[in-house]
Chain A
Amino acid sequence: MHAVWEQLRAGISLIFDANGVILSLTWVTIRVAFVSTAIAVVIGLPIGVALGLGRFRGRRALQLLANASLALPPVVVGVIVLMLLVPQSVLGSLRIEFTLTAVYIVQAILALPYIVAFTPAAIQGLPPGLLAQARALGAGRLQLAALAVREARIGILAAIIAAMGATVSEVGAVVIVGGNTQGQDQTLASGLLDSFLLTAGNPQLIAITIMLVLVLLVLLGTLTLLQQRSGGVNFRFRSV
């Protein structure tokens, strides 16, 4: 136990030394978390609401597909995106392979299934009369969608929490698409995969581990508080 304690001390002091490496990894991680989650929400929320409210053909099939995409291995997504981004390939002219931009994109793709699959589930879990009543009262599609999002906000926030958790802690795709270059596109999580770190008693490994726990606790904790504060289901209709 003594050895671990020593390592822990060394690791913590490495963080407080304002060691440039740990802080830059943290900064990249936070940027990826916010940018990728934001992209996933902007694209995924409308799709999720449409799947939750819509009455079109193929809705069930699409929802099944959204659920299945939750099981997509990040490594496979990484390879597919990389193959599209290498210079000789379809999107090669964008010149973003092995950059932070590519990491944003691939993490957004991995976060998307959470939003698209959990949003319809949250909307379909609303009290059955609620949306029908709004429809009967003459709400337009947009009003209906806004109502559904407001009432299902707890479930939708849960989806966003899950999505952000994935953007922070997934590594398979980040390593493949970003190339895992320190100071450029390496996150705390992908930093842990760097093989030169994997030596016994390496304080840097411990420092990164501690920082990753902190980042996850702070980001997901804040979102969870927000979710709790947004409270139970309250039925508020504007008077027509």
Chain B
Amino acid sequence: MHFLWQELRVAIPLITHGNPQLLGVIGFTLQVAAIATVAATVLGVPIGLALALGRFRGRRVLRAAANVSLGLPPVLVGSILFIFLAGNAPGGALHLIFTRRVVFIAQTILALPYTVAFTAAAVEGLPAGLLGQARLLGADRLQLALLAMREARVGIMAAVLASLGSALSEVAAVAILGGNLYEYNQTLASATLYEVDGGNYPNAIAIAIVLIVMIVVLMCGLGLLQQRGGGVRLRFRSAR
């Protein structure tokens, strides 16, 4: 017990005294989380809506693909992208490997399945008559999509939360594609790996504490927002 206490005694001041390296990592992590979550939401929610509401060929196949992509291991996404982006591979000319941009891209790709699959599931879970009724009353596609989004907002918020969670805590793709470069493109999760690797346990503990606190605070905050927005309310504008 003595050892743990000692390590914590060194670790806590690193957080409270605002160690510049730690602050840099926190800043980059927040940047990654914000960019990846926003990009995944902007791209993923419309796709999810289309998968749930659309009546086009191949919808079911795409819907299944969205579910499967939820189980895609980040390591694989990382290594496959690496193979296609490194050196003289087709994507090599983009010079993305070991940059900050590639971290944003990788985390967006990993967050996307959550927004797509969970949005589709949330819309499919709406009361059966609701969207049919709106269709009958003459709602066009955009109105229908907006209605579905409003009614399924609790589920869609859950989708956004899940994508944020993955953007914060996934580490494999960040480490492979970004190279886990000190003071450049480390997130809290990948910086933890780096510090443990260097045997610098107090730093690793400090970073891990910040990571878990950040996840709990962001998740609880957004979770509360989700609860407040809750309940299925059926409101239709009066038709003219």
Q: Check A76 against B208 for contact (C-beta < 8 Å).
A: yes
Q: Check A172 against B172 for contact (C-beta < 8 Å).
A: yes
Chain B residue nearest to A175 in the complex (CB): B193
A88–B5 Cα distance when bound, in Å, is 11
Question: B165: which A residues are within 8 A, CB to CB?
Answer: 71
A233–B240 Cα distance when bound, in Å, is 49
* A83 in contact with B169 given A192-B78, A205-B79, A212-B73 (CB within 8 Å): no
Question: B175: which A residues are within 8 A, CB to CB?
Answer: 193
A89–B193 Cα distance when bound, in Å, is 20
A49 within 8 A of partner (CB): no
A189 within 8 A of partner (CB): yes
Chain B residue nearest to A92 in the complex (CB): B3
Question: A225: which B residues are within 8 A, CB to CB?
Answer: none
Chain B residue nearest to A70 in the complex (CB): B165
* A89 in contact with B212 given A171-B75, A171-B171 (CB within 8 Å): no
Question: A171: which B residues are within 8 A, CB to CB?
Answer: 74-75, 171-172
* A198 in contact with B179 given A75-B208, A83-B201, A169-B75 (CB within 8 Å): yes
B183 within 8 A of partner (CB): no
A229–B204 Cα distance when bound, in Å, is 46
A139–B176 Cα distance when bound, in Å, is 54
Residues from 41 to 86 in B contacting A, C-beta threshold 8 Å: 71, 73-76, 78-80, 82-84, 86
Q: Check A200 against B215 for contact (C-beta < 8 Å).
A: no
Chain A residue nearest to B223 in the complex (CB): A68
Question: A83: which B residues are within 8 A, CB to CB?
Answer: 4, 7, 201, 205
* A189 in contact with B172 given A75-B192, A200-B88 (CB within 8 Å): yes
A82 within 8 A of partner (CB): yes
Question: B154: which A residues are within 8 A, CB to CB?
Answer: none
A97–B219 Cα distance when bound, in Å, is 32
Number of interface residues of A (CB under 8 A): 45
CB within 8 Å: A-B pair count: 134
* A86 in contact with B3 given A71-B219, A198-B82, A200-B88 (CB within 8 Å): yes
A171–B215 Cα distance when bound, in Å, is 19
Contact of A3 among B89, B208, B219 (CB under 8 A): B89
Chain A residue nearest to B192 in the complex (CB): A75
List the interface of chain A (C-beta within 8 A of B).
1, 3-4, 7, 71, 73-76, 78-80, 82-84, 86, 88-90, 92, 162, 165, 168-172, 175-176, 189, 192-193, 195, 198-201, 205-206, 208-209, 212-213, 216, 220
27 A-B pairs whose Cβ atoms sit less than 8 Å apart in the complex: A4-B83, A71-B219, A73-B189, A75-B171, A79-B192, A86-B3, A90-B1, A165-B71, A169-B73, A169-B75, A171-B172, A172-B172, A176-B193, A176-B204, A192-B79, A192-B176, A193-B75, A193-B175, A199-B87, A200-B92, A200-B97, A201-B87, A205-B82, A209-B79, A212-B75, A212-B76, A216-B76
Q: Which 9 pairs between the two chains have the least Cβ-Cβ distance?
A: A200-B87, A169-B73, A73-B169, A200-B86, A88-B3, A79-B208, A209-B79, A189-B75, A89-B3
